[in-house]
Amino acid sequence: MEATLSTIIAAAAPLMFASLGETISEKSGVINLSLEGSLMLSALAGFAVAFSTNNTLAGFAAAAVVGATFALIVAFSSITLGLNQVAVGFVLAILGVALASFLGGSYTGRPGGEVAVPPLNIPLLADIPFVGPVLFQHNIVVYASLLVVIVAWVFMFRTRPGLVLQGIGERPEATHSRGIKVNRLRYTYTIVGGALVGIGGAAFTLDAKLGWSFQHTRNFGWIALAIVIFGGWHPLRVAAGVLLFGFLQWLALDLQNVFPDLTQVLPIMPFVLMIFALVLVNADWLREWADRHPRWGNLIRGDAPSAIGTQFSAE
Amino acid sequence: MTVRSGEDASGVRRAAIGVLPFVVALLFASVLVLLVGENPIEAFRLIIQGSLGSADKLSDTVMVWVPLTLAAAGLVVTFAAGLWNIGVEGQIVLGAIGASLIAREVSAPPYILIPLTLLFGALFGIAWALLAGVLKTKGKVNEIFGGLGLDFVASGVTLYLIIGPWARPGIASTSGTEPFPTAAWLPALGDTRFSPLAVGLTIVLVVVVWMLLRGTRYGLKLKAVGRNPQSAFLMGIPTNRYILGAFAICGALSGLAGAIQATGFHHKLVPSISGGYGFLGILVVLLAGFRAIWIAPIAAFFAVIAVGSITLTLRLDVDSALGAVITGILVLFALMASGLRSYRRRKRSLELPPDPEESTSTPTPARGGAS
């Protein structure tokens, strides 16, 4: 039980960064649909740079730059040029996968032992029974992934800049009329979100699934996008979605022993279940139930930021 | 009347902007090829030679063009209705499964069997597309994520069939099913895969889609739904029925693409049966500016790049993903060039509100279907 929970939390770190990054970006009103490509390319960049410089931190930095660059292209195309965010993001998703496949050939199968993130037990806390092994016997990447969740949550709902972030995603006109530079902030949050996605990519190749192979992070970008919706754009619920997905993956792996015939099929199932959980969240009867029971309802209800995917122009 | 030189210059500039994305894409690809220590000119020569250089290569290119064009034609219809039909990959896969079912289980003379495989391919594609459609209209699931989920399911079903019920006797392998009996193969010229039937069917269907969106009431209403579903609904158009209709049309065309992939190209069911032509089809439609008339030539260019770059891996130390990089960069820069154009126009006429016809800022992708 302890070991299982600990495994799920450790394995969830990359997706945690990616989903939280996308949450921040979408909260400001910009959909970065490029995740499938930016995650894969930053995973490669992280591994390649760490491997050739023998410096793990440099790998994470390079990956963050790749993720931020993809986000910058989305921001520039949609905010400045007025292009459709979904179109640009989709093209970047395909392009990122193609680039990763083209550039990654020579790194396939290289052992990454020397550049792996070293384990780090947190003194005292690691000795607490149950909680210690589950939460405090990981490494810095896993701790950071959990910290990002808490920081994002506190920032969004307990600070003034966080309120502004919600404002530019929900009511850009009203926020603008209070003298806030909507588009500049949207650039900032999109790029910050993209950098987190990049860190998530490096967390795959330098920690969770050490090493690089073609399509190492396959489908995880798409699933991160789905989890943001499932999580109703709320950092804590997004984190819960990531852990739920991790649990389903663990379950699928475990069930392979029970149903050996389905070995090839089971790994796909968590993706399917996660996406169709969206149906449930959106179902009318569940929404009505949520309206009648506001205390519990708020746990499952989640609407997109009103101005998501739209342009804002000051004129 | 004299032509003002300013207009003349802007015409030249417009042409230059149209060509620019191609130049950028080729330059970018050249840099990548140089990076891995090979000669870009040689790489481009091999791409052309590998796609058009012999009857065999040419027929393979045509048989890539066929499913790509069919999927793109279907996507023009869903885009016209304002839908991002990401589920197109799964619709191709289901088409291939439907055709494989007939090819494996029914024994009949070719003139019955072949139309039956194509019909079942289309029907399976329609069923899968309608599933995404119902998820959207009834379940309020965004079609992007409903479609993605169904894509995952479709690839799962294919894998299950290949290693399970349709496994080759003795070997449980993911390399594909046993080849179909030859009676179910699409008739082809000589030893090549070139199928005149598939090519003819594709041309006819592209023309049908073009006419549907250009000159029919149905197409007009579909575009009204895509532009603004609320006002279309208020004008008495049954929005949901049109959305499902668009999904069904796209499903039929992509299902047919999958059926042709199975019976005309691989002659069996393989795990990656869609060939990625669904997502590539979306890039084709984006580059075509959602206009049906540009689909066939753009798909031909994409097919040349896709088939030609396979040769690269065999002859040079260059990964075949170079082809996908070229097409991706091309579409990205074409989009950005069009964005830059309307950005400069907006700057020039700040006092005027943005022209709705030119605006790309709407969250829905619909910008009309036919040209």
Tell me the pLDDT of chain A (315 aa) as tens digits. Answer: 788 999 999 999 999 999 999 999 999 999 999 999 999 999 999 999 999 999 999 999 999 999 999 999 999 999 999 999 999 999 999 999 999 999 988 888 887 777 888 888 888 888 888 888 888 989 999 999 999 999 999 999 999 999 999 999 999 999 999 999 999 999 999 999 999 999 999 999 999 888 888 778 888 999 999 899 888 899 999 999 999 999 988 988 888 888 877 777 777 878 777 777 776 776 677 777 777 877 776 666 677 888 888 888 876
Chain B residue closest in CA terms to A85? B363
Chain A residue closest in CA terms to B334? A88
Contact A264 B141 (CB under 8 A): no
Per-residue confidence (pLDDT) for residue B203, from 0 to 100: 97
Helices A182-203 and A35-53 sit at what angle, rounded to 10 degrees? 60
Q: Which neighbouring-strand residues pair with A137? A: A121
| Distance in angstroms (rounded) separating the CA atoms of residues B71 and A215 | 24
What residues of A are in contact with residue B17 (Cβ under 8 Å)? none
- Residue B39 CA, distance from chain mean position: 31
**Are residues A203 and A45 in contact, defined by beta-carbon separation less than 8 angstroms?**
no
Mind giving me the DSSP string for A76-103?
A: IIIIIS---HHHHHHHHHHHHHHHHHHH
What residues of B are in contact with residue A83 (Cβ under 8 Å)? 335-336, 338-339, 360-361
Residues A168/A171/A173/A174 CA torsion (nearest 10 deg): -100
Report the candidate in A210, A238, A248 with the shortest Cα–Cα distance to residue A15: A238
Show the tokens assigned to A37: 């490509």
Q: What is the largest CA-CA distance in chain B?
A: 80
| Distance in angstroms (rounded) separating the CA atoms of residues A268 and B93 | 15
For residue A295, count CB atoms less than 10 angstroms from its CB and return exposed for 0-12, middle for 13-18, buried for 19 or more: exposed
Tell me the HSE value of A44 on the side-chain side, using a 13 A CA sphere. 23
Per-residue confidence (pLDDT) for residue A299, from 0 to 100: 66
Encode chain B (371 residues) as per-residue pLDDT tens digits: 444 444 455 667 666 667 888 898 999 999 999 988 889 999 999 999 999 999 999 999 999 999 999 999 999 999 999 999 999 999 999 999 999 999 999 999 999 999 999 999 999 999 999 999 998 998 878 888 889 889 989 998 999 899 888 988 877 677 889 999 999 999 998 888 999 999 999 999 999 999 999 989 999 999 999 998 889 999 889 999 999 999 999 999 999 999 999 999 999 999 999 999 999 999 999 999 999 999 999 999 999 999 999 888 888 878 889 999 999 999 999 999 889 888 888 888 765 555 444 444 334 443 333 33
Per-residue confidence (pLDDT) for residue B194, from 0 to 100: 93
Show the tokens assigned to B210: 């073009």
DSSP state of A52: H
Contact A261 B283 (CB under 8 A): no
What residues of A are in contact with residue B346 (Cβ under 8 Å)? 82
Per-residue confidence (pLDDT) for residue B215, from 0 to 100: 84
Q: What are phi and psi of A151, to 5 degrees?
A: -60, -45
For residue B369, count CB atoms less than 10 angstroms from its CB and return exposed for 0-12, middle for 13-18, buried for 19 or more: buried
Q: What is the pTM of this model?
A: 0.91
ipTM (interface predicted TM): 0.91
Helix, strand or coil, per DSSP, at residue A139: strand
Contact B139 A226 (CB under 8 A): no
Please check whether residue B289 touches A, CB under 8 A: no
Show the tokens assigned to B59: 């027929």
The pLDDT tens digits for A121-147 are 888 888 888 888 888 989 999 999 999
C-beta neighbour count of B182 within 10 angstroms: 9
| Amino acid, res. B332 | L
**Are residues A221 and A93 in contact, defined by beta-carbon separation less than 8 angstroms?**
yes
| Distance in angstroms (rounded) separating the CA atoms of residues B88 and B277 | 9
Q: Which neighbouring-strand residues pair with A139? A: A119
Report the candidate in A14, A25, A34, A52 with the shortest Cα–Cα distance to residue A88: A34
**Are residues B287 and B331 in contact, defined by beta-carbon separation less than 8 angstroms?**
yes
Per-residue confidence (pLDDT) for residue B7, from 0 to 100: 46
| Distance in angstroms (rounded) separating the CA atoms of residues B64 and B71 | 11
The pLDDT tens digits for A257-300 are 888 777 777 778 787 777 777 767 766 777 777 778 777 766 66
**Are residues A21 and A67 in contact, defined by beta-carbon separation less than 8 angstroms?**
yes
Please check whether residue A304 touches B, CB under 8 A: no
Per-residue confidence (pLDDT) for residue B364, from 0 to 100: 44
Contact B336 A83 (CB under 8 A): yes
Closest CB from B319, B361, B363 relative to A101: B319
The conformational region for residue A31 under phi > 0 = left, psi -120 to 50 = alpha, else beta, is beta
Report the candidate in B224, B243, B222, B220 with the shortest Cα–Cα distance to residue B232: B224
Please check whether residue B207 touches A, CB under 8 A: no
User: CA of A178, closest CA in chain B: separation in Å?
Assistant: 23
Contact B328 A275 (CB under 8 A): no
H or E segment and range at residue A120: strand A119-121
User: CA of B337, closest CA in chain A: separation in Å?
Assistant: 9
Please check whether residue B131 touches A, CB under 8 A: no
Per-residue confidence (pLDDT) for residue B171, from 0 to 100: 73
Show the tokens assigned to A228: 């943001």
Please check whether residue A268 touches B, CB under 8 A: yes
Q: For an interface test with B, which of A19, A72, A95 has the most B Cβ atoms less than 10 Å from its Cβ?
A: A95
User: CA of A272, closest CA in chain B: separation in Å?
Assistant: 5
Cα separations in angstroms, B165 against A269, B22, B98: 19, 46, 15
**Are residues B45 and B254 in contact, defined by beta-carbon separation less than 8 angstroms?**
no
What residues of A are in contact with residue B354 (Cβ under 8 Å)? 82
Q: For an interface test with A, which of B24, B31, B78, B141 has the most A Cβ atoms less than 10 Å from its Cβ?
A: B141
Measured at the alpha carbon of residue A246, what is the angle toward residues A241 and A251, in degrees to the nearest 5?
125
Please check whether residue A283 touches B, CB under 8 A: yes
**Are residues B326 and B305 in contact, defined by beta-carbon separation less than 8 angstroms?**
yes
Please check whether residue B216 touches A, CB under 8 A: no
- Residue B217 CA, distance from chain mean position: 25
Which residues in chain B (141-170) have CB-CB distances under 8 A to chain A?
141-142, 144-146, 148-149, 152-153, 155-156, 159-160, 163-164
